[in-house]
């Protein structure tokens, strides 16, 4: 575990279309695709008939009645996922996540439903200020991170990052830098995305014809990132490298991703043919084609492939968090005595491209 | 872990888009003169509000300030970010070819991202139904695009472009992130700051909370009545000292350090003890003590709750005679995610030029605040260290420490050595 001395992922959890918690996620990956829900258009006035939803009716269902009256779905997904992560297997709070723990959470645009509903009220009520003040904080994009900190008593740096599908990799990089700069020790990091009719309409207006086949998804996956982990507690995986770049158009995605992967593997000291598994974003359309092409040219044909988007739908900002979770889940399912490396790649139509190399701890 | 000597991080480029001046030099003139950016809001139809004064940037056409950005594909906040980033690079006299060859970070803080566009989309939805949204406007919505706009304007590819939507402290978060990235040697250049555009959503929300002032913003005044919403962008170019000296760059100031913490207490109300802790974290990170600070640029929103809580936290750390504490929000309003970025630029200019910008609209200081806010007129002062405060919804606190650049460091106490991978 000590070849590049990156920080270590010591725990993870997920609230996904497979259900609440890590065990549901692991079991779900075993069985394959998450069930798509037929949308009740009275509840979800969206231009799609099906989506991969977290099986919970709302914040109250996930977290109980107290403190959830004005909470939005994205915030509830994050609060629930962080709660799952911080719960020790033996009960109570994980001791390694003290009250100075930081939180870095990825998002696309917070809750566009909260923002648009609030604005709609202003435009349609008798007076433009007749908006619900209790829901104003939901319209600010750091709401999920701030409320998660309040709910769970996390007083360390509390950061929200936005970067589309790569958001969780950007969050992981941010967390790593906070640790290097001695701003934080333990950091919870991950990303969240909610499904809503508003998001579905924005998506419907902006998707290319070659991107229509994928269902929309949602959820939140989070990791606990620690430094200076004692040798007797090796953790699950070391974050050996993260590389991020920017493509100006779809044709640029493959070369930029290839550059990122090459640099990341070199940093991690891993040969492209020595990877145990790769979890690509699996984005639909030209961006995904470029990702497939770049990885096909770089990696050995037998590298195990983990495809989250096929299983969970397009979870947008949460997608790279789920990809990391899938790598950790698969590693847990097929534990091996020696360490091995996995690659996570992500591409986004706004142009941010990235990858991470994780070195999975061996059992020996 | 390998022990690493952290690099010193200096500010060599400034870009500002504000309601009192576009460009760092015009912003400087506005700060010195105590200009006010307040005027009736034009961003949305204000019918139905009893008052709607804001601090808009009224003379900004993106095409005048950007070269490469496909303007129509990006919203107003992205235009501000791209323009300010372009100005910062020009100000730094850093050749674009060198910037493109460098490993860089572009990080823009924001509160609302492109919520101005979301205002318009909701209006279309209300008028014609959700099937009639303009796809070009819909495409502009993701918050990540603010940073991408700045990076694309400059033609960067080997770049980490990341937006930090950590509400009203986001500018300081972004500069802190840039500081760490340059200090550890992970990037050669960081372009960091914040951007926001005035939008109905945020105006209506603050108005409903009773925190919008009817005419003017009066931080620390006995009769203060709240904020004025504002807009703009501030971007700083950071590089390490060796590279700045090697290329003969003008060094505006040095970034000494920063602190972050979270109240984890109340979604919107600030917490005195927690913010005081954040100030102490910043001092420790910067290797300074409270006595080193010559100027505090306050969050100073002009609301009843913020100003008294912030002033109490300042006295908790600095004692009963804290350094002069000003709020430039009196001049440019609350520019949300841009606020602490523009205030950082104001601190940098104050250090460089030897003056303290005033807190305008000031009549009589609230005794509960008990600070010298430099009322109404700028004063000359030689400054060595300035502290820039930021507080945000979600209990997100961020404090940045800037210092005058001196060859041997502005303080005798050296920043603690650190380890990095």
Pairing of strands B2-4, A352-360: unpaired
Q: What are residue B191's DSSP bridge partners?
A: B106, B237
Cα Rg of chain B, angstroms: 20
For B95-118, write each residue's pLDDT tens digit.
999 999 999 999 999 999 999 999
State the pLDDT at residue B204.
98
Residue A80, token pair as written in the block: 């629930």
Sign of CA dihedral B280, B286, B287, B291: negative
The answer to whether residues B180 and B319 belong to one domain is: no
Q: Which of B144, B178, B391 to mutate to test the interface with A (most CBs of A within 10 A)?
A: B144
Task: Residue B98: give the domain boundaries.
Answer: 9-246
Q: Which residue of B has its CA nearest to A249?
A: B152
Higher pLDDT, B167 or A91: B167
Angle between helices B339-353 and B170-183 (to 10 degrees): 60
Check if B145 contacts A (Cβ < 8 Å).
yes
- Report the candidate in B249, B295, B188, B198 with the shortest Cα–Cα distance to residue B405: B249
Q: At the topology level of CATH, where does A8-226 sit? A: Peroxisomal Thiolase; Chain A, domain 1 (3.40.47)
b/e map of B240-260 (b: 16 or more CB within 10 Å)? bbebbeeeebebbbbbbbbbb
- Give the integer Cα–Cα distance in Å for B114 and B123: 15
CA B306 to chain centroid: 17
A146·B156 Cβ contact <8 A: no
The percent of residues in chain B predicted with pLDDT above 90, rounded, is 95
The answer to whether residues B22 and B157 belong to one domain is: yes
The answer to whether residues B97 and B239 belong to one domain is: yes
State the pLDDT at residue B412.
54
The mean pLDDT of B311-330, rounded to a whole number, is 97
CA B105 to chain centroid: 17
State the first-to-last Cα distance of chain B, in angstroms, to the nearest integer. 5
Nearest-by-Cβ selection for B166 from A129, A142, A228: A142
Q: Flag whether pLDDT at B330 surpasses 60.
A: yes
The alpha-carbon gap from B49 to the nearest alpha carbon of chain A, in Å, equals: 7
Domain A237-360, CATH homologous superfamily name and number = Thiolase/Chalcone synthase (3.40.47.10)
Q: What are residue B253's DSSP bridge partners?
A: B11
Instruction: Please list every residue in chain A whose beta carbon sits closer than 8 Å to the beta carbon of residue B159.
Output: 244-246
A163·B2 Cβ contact <8 A: no
Instruction: Please list every residue in chain A whose beta carbon sits closer than 8 Å to the beta carbon of residue B111.
Output: 140-141
Q: Would you say residue B252 lies in a domain?
A: no
The mean pLDDT of A118-125, rounded to a whole number, is 98
Alpha helices in chain A (DSSP H): 22-31, 59-63, 73-86, 112-124, 143-152, 167-180, 197-206, 250-268, 285-298, 308-312, 319-333
Residue B42, token pair as written in the block: 């034009």
Angle between helices B145-153 and B76-91 (to 10 degrees): 40
The mean pLDDT of B304-328, rounded to a whole number, is 97
A141·B110 Cβ contact <8 A: yes
Residue A172, token pair as written in the block: 């992981």
Q: Flag whether pLDDT at A215 surpasses 70.
A: yes
- Give the integer Cα–Cα distance in Å for A66 and A333: 36
Nearest-by-Cβ selection for A352 from B148, B395, B420: B148
Check if B156 contacts A (Cβ < 8 Å).
yes
Q: Flag whether pLDDT at B418 surpasses 60.
A: no
- Report the candidate in B174, B393, B196 with the shortest Cα–Cα distance to residue A143: B393
Nearest-by-Cβ selection for A136 from B110, B113, B208: B208
Q: Alpha-carbon dihedral of residues B378, B292, B192, B27, nearest 10 degrees? A: 10
State the pLDDT at residue B415.
47
Q: Where do the DSSP E strands lie in B330-384?
A: 355-356, 379-380
Q: What was the ipTM of the complex prediction? A: 0.97
B234, B340 in Cβ contact below 8 A?
no
Q: Flag whether pLDDT at A166 surpasses 50.
A: yes
A116·B394 Cβ contact <8 A: no
B73, B59 in Cβ contact below 8 A?
no
Q: How many domains does chain B have?
A: 2
Q: Flag whether pLDDT at A1 surpasses 50.
A: no
Q: Which of A322-326, B308-312, B384-388, B407-411 has the lowest mean pLDDT?
A: B407-411
State the pLDDT at residue A299.
95
Q: Would you say residue B416 lies in a domain?
A: no
Instruction: Find tokens 């104050």 and name the residue.
Output: B350
The percent of residues in chain A predicted with pLDDT above 70, rounded, is 99
- Give the integer Cα–Cα distance in Å for B417 and A94: 30
Q: Which CATH number fits the domain that encloses residue B295?
A: 3.40.47.10
Q: Would you say residue B151 lies in a domain?
A: yes
State the pLDDT at residue A4.
52
Length of chain A: 364
Cα distances (Å, whole numbers) of residue A132 to A115, A125, A129, B153, B306: 12, 11, 9, 39, 22
Q: Would you say residue B2 lies in a domain?
A: no
A47·B421 Cβ contact <8 A: no
Using pLDDT thresholds of 50, 70 and 90, give the confidence band for residue A33. Answer: confident
B144·A156 Cβ contact <8 A: no
Q: Which of A58-72, A203-217, A285-299, B35-49 has the lowest mean pLDDT?
A: A203-217
Q: Would you say residue B348 lies in a domain?
A: yes
B135·A164 Cβ contact <8 A: no
B125, A123 in Cβ contact below 8 A?
no
Nearest-by-Cβ selection for A142 from B133, B165, B266: B165
Domain residue spans of chain A: 8-226, 237-360
For B229-274, write each residue's pLDDT tens digit.
999 999 999 999 999 999 999 999 999 999 999 999 998 999 999 9
Instruction: Please list every residue in chain A whose beta carbon sits closer than 8 Å to the beta carbon of residue B265.
Output: 150
For B54-75, write each residue's pLDDT tens digit.
999 998 999 999 999 999 999 9
Phi, psi of A76 (to 5 degrees): -65, -40
B122·A116 Cβ contact <8 A: yes
The answer to whether residues B124 and B232 belong to one domain is: yes
- Give the integer Cα–Cα distance in Å for B360 and A56: 51
Using pLDDT thresholds of 50, 70 and 90, give the confidence band for residue A313. Answer: very high
Instruction: Please list every residue in chain A whose beta carbon sits closer than 8 Å to the beta carbon of residue B82.
Output: none
Q: Which residue of B has its CA nearest to A161?
A: B164
State the pLDDT at residue B410.
87
B261·A155 Cβ contact <8 A: yes
The alpha-carbon gap from B23 to the nearest alpha carbon of chain A, in Å, equals: 27
For A317-355, write each residue's pLDDT tens digit.
999 999 999 999 999 998 888 889 999 999 999 999 999
Nearest-by-Cβ selection for B209 from A136, A159, A170: A136
A107·B165 Cβ contact <8 A: yes
Q: Flag whether pLDDT at B416 surpasses 70.
A: no
The alpha-carbon gap from A199 to the nearest alpha carbon of chain B, in Å, equals: 10
The alpha-carbon gap from A363 to the nearest alpha carbon of chain B, in Å, equals: 23
State the pLDDT at residue A230.
78
The answer to whether residues B313 and B349 belong to one domain is: yes
Sign of CA dihedral B331, B334, B335, B337: positive
Q: Flag whether pLDDT at B420 surpasses 60.
A: no
The answer to whether residues B242 and B272 belong to one domain is: no
Task: Look at residue B159 and give its three-state secondary structure.
Answer: strand
The answer to whether residues B206 and B276 belong to one domain is: no
- Report the candidate in B122, B331, B85, B343 with the shortest Cα–Cα distance to residue B230: B331
A155·B263 Cβ contact <8 A: yes
User: Residues 204-223, chain B: which have Cβ within 8 Å of A?
Assistant: 204-209
B130·A201 Cβ contact <8 A: yes
The answer to whether residues B28 and B164 belong to one domain is: yes
Q: Which residues, 6+ apart, have CB-to-CB distance to B308 below 8 Å?
A: B366, B368, B369
Q: Would you say residue B418 lies in a domain?
A: no
The answer to whether residues B33 and B179 belong to one domain is: yes
Residues of B annotated as catalytic (active site), given as ranges? 168, 299, 334
The answer to whether residues B265 and B381 belong to one domain is: yes
Check if B3 contacts A (Cβ < 8 Å).
no
Q: How many CA atoms lie within 13 A of B374 on its CB side?
A: 28
- Between chain A and chain B, the number of residue pairs with CB atoms below 8 A apart is 264
Q: Of B214, B246, B278, which one is at a domain's C-terminal end?
A: B246
**What is the DSSP annotation of A101-150?**
-EEEEEESSS-HHHHHHHHHHHHHSSSTT---GGGGGGGSTTHHHHHHHH
Q: Flag whether pLDDT at A5 surpasses 90.
A: no
Q: Flag whether pLDDT at A209 surpasses 90.
A: no
Pairing of strands A37-38, A50-52: antiparallel
Phi, psi of A243 (to 5 degrees): -135, 135
Nearest-by-Cβ selection for B200 from A119, A136, A170: A119
Mean pLDDT, chain A, integer: 95
Q: Flag whether pLDDT at A73 surpasses 60.
A: yes
Q: Which residue of B has its CA nearest to A135?
A: B205
The mean pLDDT of B337-365, rounded to a whole number, is 98
User: Residues 392-411, chain B: which have Cβ within 8 Å of A?
Assistant: 392-396
Q: Which residue of A has its CA nearest to B275?
A: A155
The alpha-carbon gap from A333 to the nearest alpha carbon of chain B, in Å, equals: 30
Instruction: Please list every residue in chain A whose beta carbon sits closer than 8 Å to the beta carbon of residue B1.
Output: 5, 228
- Report the candidate in B329, B319, B324, B323 with the shortest Cα–Cα distance to residue B390: B329
Using pLDDT thresholds of 50, 70 and 90, give the confidence band for residue A34. Answer: confident
Nearest-by-Cβ selection for A163 from B133, B163, B184: B163
The answer to whether residues B173 and B236 belong to one domain is: yes
The mean pLDDT of A1-21, rounded to a whole number, is 86
Q: Which residues, 6+ apart, have CB-to-CB distance to A13 below 8 Å?
A: A21, A22, A25, A81, A84, A85, A221, A222
- Give the integer Cα–Cα distance in Å for A328 and A225: 13
The mean pLDDT of B411-418, rounded to a whole number, is 50
Q: Which of A83-92, A110-119, B24-33 has the lowest mean pLDDT?
A: A83-92
Q: Which residues, 6+ apart, have CB-to-CB distance to B204 below 8 Å?
A: A118, A119, A122, A128, A129, A131
Cα distances (Å, whole numbers) of residue A336 to A61, A276, A331, B24: 38, 11, 8, 58
State the pLDDT at residue A337.
87
Q: Would you say residue B4 lies in a domain?
A: no
- Give the integer Cα–Cα distance in Å for A283 and B24: 41
Instruction: Please list every residue in chain B whose beta carbon sits closer than 8 Å to the beta carbon of residue A152.
Output: 264
Residue B131, token pair as written in the block: 């099937």
**What is the DSSP annotation of A202-254?**
HHHHH--GGGTTSPEE-EEEEEEEESS--TT---SEEEEEEEEEE-SSHHHHH
B395·A149 Cβ contact <8 A: yes
The mean pLDDT of A35-48, rounded to a whole number, is 95
**Beta-carbon count within 10 A of B321 CB:** 9
The mean pLDDT of A181-210, rounded to a whole number, is 96
The answer to whether residues B29 and B140 belong to one domain is: yes
The mean pLDDT of A278-286, rounded to a whole number, is 96
Q: Would you say residue B410 lies in a domain?
A: no
Residue B43, token pair as written in the block: 């961003």
B392·A142 Cβ contact <8 A: yes
> Model pTM?
0.97
State the first-to-last Cα distance of chain A, in angstroms, to the nearest integer. 11
For B154-165, write each residue's pLDDT tens digit.
999 999 999 999
Q: Alpha-carbon dihedral of residues B147, A206, A36, A44, nearest 10 degrees? A: 100
Using pLDDT thresholds of 50, 70 and 90, give the confidence band for residue B5. Answer: confident
b/e map of B42-71 (b: 16 or more CB within 10 Å)? ebbebeebeebbbbbbeebebeebbeebeb
Angle at CA of residue B163, ends A63 and B396, nearest 5°: 50
């Amino acid at each position: 575990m000590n070849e590049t001395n990156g920080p270590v992922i010591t725990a993870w959890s997920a609230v996904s279309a497979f259900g609440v918690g890590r065990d549901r996620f692991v079991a779900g990956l075993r069985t394959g695709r998450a069930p798509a829900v037929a949308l009740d258009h009275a509840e979800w006035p969206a231009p799609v008939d099906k989506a991969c939803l977290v099986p919970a009716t709302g914040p109250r269902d996930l977290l109980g009645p107290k403190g959830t009256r004005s909470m939005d779905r994205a915030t509830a997904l994050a609060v629930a996922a962080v709660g799952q992560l911080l719960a020790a297997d033996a009960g109570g709070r994980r001791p390694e996540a003290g009250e100075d723990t930081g939180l870095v959470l990825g998002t696309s645009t917070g809750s566009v439903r909260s923002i648009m509903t609030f604005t709609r009220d202003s435009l349609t009520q008798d007076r433009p200020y007749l908006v619900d003040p209790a829901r104003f904080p939901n319209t600010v994009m750091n709401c999920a991170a701030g409320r998660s900190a309040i709910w769970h008593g996390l007083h360390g740096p509390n950061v929200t990052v936005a970067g589309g599908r790569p958001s969780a990799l950007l969050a992981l990089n941010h967390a790593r830098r906070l640790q290097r700069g001695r701003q934080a020790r333990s950091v919870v990091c991950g990303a969240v995305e909610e499904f809503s009719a508003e998001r579905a309409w924005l998506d419907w207006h902006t998707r290319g014809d070659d991107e229509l086949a994928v269902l929309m998804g949602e959820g939140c996956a989070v990791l606990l990132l620690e430094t200076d982990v004692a040798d007797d507690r090796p953790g699950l995986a070391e974050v050996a490298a993260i590389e991020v770049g920017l493509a100006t158009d779809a044709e640029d995605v493959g070369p930029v991703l290839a550059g990122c992967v090459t640099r990341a593997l070199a940093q991690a000291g891993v040969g492209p043919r020595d990877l145990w598994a790769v979890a690509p974003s699996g984005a639909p359309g030209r961006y995904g084609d470029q990702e497939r092409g770049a990885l096909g040219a770089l990696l050995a044909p037998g590298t195990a492939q983990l495809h989250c988007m096929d299983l969970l739908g397009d979870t947008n900002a949460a997608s790279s968090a789920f990809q990391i979770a899938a790598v950790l889940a698969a590693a847990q399912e097929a534990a091996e005595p020696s360490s091995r490396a996995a690659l996570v790649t992500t591409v986004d139509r706004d142009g941010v491209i990235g990858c991470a190399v994780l070195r999975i701890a061996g059992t020996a | 872990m390998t022990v690493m000597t952290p690099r010193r991080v200096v500010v060599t480029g400034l870009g500002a888009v504000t309601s009192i001046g576009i460009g760092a030099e015009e912003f400087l003139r506005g700060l010195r003169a105590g200009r006010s950016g307040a005027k009736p809001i034009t961003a949305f139809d204000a019918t139905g509000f009893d008052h709607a004064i804001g601090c808009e940037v009224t003379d900004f056409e993106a095409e005048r300030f950007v070269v490469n950005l496909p303007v129509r594909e990006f919203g107003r906040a992205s235009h501000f970010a791209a323009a300010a980033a372009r100005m910062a690079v020009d100000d730094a006299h850093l050749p674009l070819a060198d910037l493109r060859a460098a490993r860089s970070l572009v990080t823009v803080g924001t509160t609302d991202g492109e919520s101005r566009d979301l205002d318009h989309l909701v209006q279309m939805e209300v008028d014609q139904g959700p099937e009639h949204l303009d796809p070009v406007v819909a495409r502009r919505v993701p918050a990540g695009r603010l940073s991408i706009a700045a990076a694309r304007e400059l033609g960067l590819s080997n770049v980490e472009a990341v937006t930090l939507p950590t509400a009203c402290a986001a500018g300081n978060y972004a500069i802190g992130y840039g500081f760490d990235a340059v200090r550890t040697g992970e990037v050669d250049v960081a372009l960091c700051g914040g951007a926001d555009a005035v939008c109905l959503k945020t105006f209506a929300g603050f108005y409903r909370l009773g925190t919008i002032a009817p005419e003017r913003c009066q931080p620390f005044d006995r009769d203060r009545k709240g904020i004025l919403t504002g807009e703009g962008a501030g971007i700083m170019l950071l590089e390490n000292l060796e590279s700045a000296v090697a290329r003969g760059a003008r060094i505006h100031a040095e970034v000494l350090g920063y602190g972050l913490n979270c109240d984890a207490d109340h979604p919107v109300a600030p917490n005195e003890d927690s913010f005081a802790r954040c100030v102490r974290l910043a001092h420790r990170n910067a290797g300074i003590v409270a006595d080193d600070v010559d100027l505090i640029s306050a969050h100073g929103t002009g609301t009843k709750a913020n100003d008294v809580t912030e002033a109490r936290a300042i006295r908790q750390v600095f004692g009963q005679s804290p350094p002069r504490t000003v709020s430039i929000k009196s001049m440019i309003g609350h520019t949300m995610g841009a606020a602490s970025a523009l205030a950082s630029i104001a601190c940098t200019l104050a250090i460089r030029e030897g003056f303290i910008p005033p807190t305008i609209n000031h009549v009589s200081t609230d005794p509960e605040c008990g600070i010298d806010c430099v009322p109404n007129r700028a004063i000359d002062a030689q400054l060595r260290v300035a502290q820039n405060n930021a507080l945000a919804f979600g209990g997100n606190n961020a404090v940045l420490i800037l210092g005058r650049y001196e060859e041997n460091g502005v303080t005798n106490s050296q920043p603690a050595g650190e380890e990095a991978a």
